[in-house]
Amino acid sequence: MTRVRIARAASDEVNNPTSQVVRFGADRPLALDSGGALAPFQIAYQTYGTLNAQKTNAVMICHALTGDQHVANTNPVTGKDGWWDVLIGPGLIIDTDRFFVICSNVIGGCLGSTGPASTNPATGKPYALGLPVITIRDMVRAQAMLVDHLGIEQLFSVVGGSMGGMQVLEWASSYPDRVFTALPIATGARHSSQNIAFHEVGRQAVMADPDWLGGRYIEAGKRPTKGLAVARMAAHITYLSEAALHRKFGRNLQDRDALTFGFDADFQIESYLRHQGATFVDRFDANSYLYMTRAMDYFDLAADHGGRLADAFAGTKTRFCVVSFTSDWLFPTAESRDIVHALNAAGASVSFVEIETDRGHDAFLLDEPELFSAIRGFLRSAARARGLEQ
């Protein structure tokens, strides 16, 4: 698809997505951590497979910062495969012949759930920064309302990486009886100072773009694409690892035999990063980027429980499988260990897998055999325990 068509498709998805949508009216507000409530609001979601009669085979997939609900189908905006279609589908690790898979766009997102690009019914204009700041707990609270709507009492599993992993932890903490198993991958129980720093750089890049217009760019028919591209470029570096960059790009030149002694993209890594920035801005709303990064910054599960992370999981019966990657420097293994220690202190059932890879944080989205085998083994044993034949 051309860039213009992608941008138009992205815009079309905001209020009237091609996904299924559940609309909650003024009588069913979403309570927000900021103190207020959001009403009306809507959640756009995709499902795969069939809910069994006992309603015990539902798996909730939580997406990451710039992800969406199109986890295992062609993306209506980009035309690309679903972002986790290596993992989810008929006969795959999360087998849609056996499980009923749900994935919803988070509140604050831009692919059909209520977010800053959505039309505020009170004004007829986009919310922009008029939308209250959304937290990870707000996102999960909305997902629980979706699960209620689907008539599901308990999810067999909640699975997600990065910001999706934060939602997994929040689900297990806020709704322990509704989560049979939880799979937080490449995540942390709180956003570190360095991670907040990188997010702040991204936000400042967006806000420095004169086309951001204090957030009201949609009304003005503009988009802060330059600033958002810079934000994406900076963030993208943190999703990889130095080793992976060295292996993939090194100091290789891009379509040239020698340095040009100029400021064009001489190096492949420059060209690659520029491409990452350019393609991202077509599919993603800049204000949503601000809201998503803020939600992650604010996440601090221990702080929500008197400063002791174990108390977030007191008495839990959920079975946990925590996964980290050796080369992930955005959410290093130490962050996962902190989660595991807290779960142990809470007496929870927990397994922990640290996967050796040089692919960095993004490893969770890739065809990573060790990750797949860990998820397969964990879910198979849990399915038996839940009385689901595997």
**Binding flag, residue 186, a second copy (CB under 8 A):** no
Whether 351 is a known active-site residue: answer: no
Q: Which of 21, 86, 92, 133 binds a second copy (CB under 8 A)?
A: 133
- Could you say whether residue 188 binds a second copy (CB under 8 A)? no
Q: Using the rule CB under 8 A, which residue among 26, 37, 197, 366 binds a second copy?
A: 197
Angle between helices 136-149 and 286-298 (to 10 degrees): 100
Of the residues 156, 171, 198, 280, which one makes contact with a second copy according to CB under 8 A: 198
**Shortest approach of a second copy to residue 338 CB, angstroms?**
12
- Check 113, 157, 162, 173 and give the catalytic one: 162
DSSP string, 16-42: S-SSEEEEE-TTS-EE-TTSSEE-SEE
Closest approach, Cβ 228 to a second copy, in A, equals 10
Catalytic residue flag (residue 173): no
The residue from 297, 327, 361, 362 that is catalytic is 361
Residue (of 156, 179, 152, 145) closest to 95 by Cα position: 156
- Give the integer Cα–Cα distance in Å for 262 and 264: 6
Binding mask 223-242 for a second copy (x = CB under 8 A): ---xx-xx--xx--x--x-x
For position 261 contacting a second copy by CB under 8 A, the verdict is yes
CA separation, residue 206 to residues 108, 229, 285, 327 (Å): 17, 8, 11, 28
Helix axes 225-239, 286-298, angle to 10 degrees: 40
Residue 100 or residue 331: which is nearer to a second copy going by CB?
A: 331
In the complex with a second copy, which residue's Cβ is closer, 13 or 304? Answer: 304
CB atoms within 10 A of CB 23: 11
Active-site residue flag, 361: yes
Residues 289-328 that bind a second copy (CB under 8 A): 290, 294, 297-298, 300, 303
- Tell me the closest approach of the beta carbon of residue 229 to a second copy, in angstroms: 7
Distance CA 97, CA 382 (A): 17
Number of H helices, E strands in the chain: 10, 14
In the chain, where does DSSP find H-type helix? 3-15, 136-149, 163-174, 193-208, 225-239, 242-248, 268-283, 286-298, 333-345, 369-385
Residues in touch with a second copy (CB under 8 A):
33-35, 129, 132-133, 190-194, 196-198, 200-201, 203-205, 207-210, 226-227, 229-230, 233-234, 237, 240, 242, 245-246, 248-251, 259, 261-263, 265-267, 269-270, 273-274, 277, 290, 294, 297-298, 300, 303, 329, 332
Active site residues: 162, 328, 361
